[in-house]
Homo-oligomer: A and B are copies of this chain.
């Protein structure tokens, strides 16, 4: 039996690759996804499919009502921006930013990890392709780790938690190549912020555009179904 790790899984390209990486490192993987009031729940279907495909010890889908807080195009009835170029994406924090989302998701993962006896938590934060989200940056990740080790029983009495962000410094193309090497089937993943009623990707939101570009740069055929 390996060491246990808790993996934040959205069902997108990044977190799916990270799950494969954690497995390749010998961890027994416990996967957590969130029903948080997002506009669409196709990502939860993708997360379930991916977890089944790669094989996990347990997949927990936890309810947390971020919709009652609001403040984001991902939870509110605000249009998701489409067709932006990279300078527009990089210029400021986008409307798809969900206030304190990674803090909230990591906190819930931390609680579950403590109960499971896991001391390793994986988050698919990445700063190379897309630096607009403050809660993806390395300084935030290390500050969270420090706080976690002061605020939990396991942190103060035991070995302490490690927050892993293995994708942090990888380009999208590098992430895709790594995933292909580890046997990830990207046709099962969903990155789109604004899919069709059938779960097809829009091809125009920031997340779709970065994904497309990543496959191009990696020289790998994009298996995504665009609407």
Q: Footprint of B on A, CB under 8 Å? A: 60, 62-66, 68-71, 93, 97-104, 107-108, 110-112, 114-115, 134-135, 137, 139-140, 143-144, 146-148, 150-153, 155-157
Contact = CB atoms under 8 A, between A and B. Distances in A.
Nearest to A64: B64
A36 B39 CA distance: 23
A146 B148 CA distance: 12
A65 B62 contact: yes
**Majority SS at the chain A contact face:** helix
Contacts of A104: 104, 107-108, 110-111
Given A97-B153, A151-B135, A107 B115 contact: no
A62 B68 contact: yes
Contacts of A135: 151-152
A107 B148 CA distance: 12
Contacts of A155: 134
Given A71-B111, A104-B104, A143-B143, 14 more contacts: A63-B65, A66-B111, A69-B115, A70-B115, A71-B114, A99-B110, A99-B153, A100-B148, A135-B151, A137-B150, A140-B147, A143-B150, A143-B151, A146-B146
B143 A100 contact: no
A69 B62 contact: yes
A55 to B, nearest CB: 21
A140 B134 contact: no
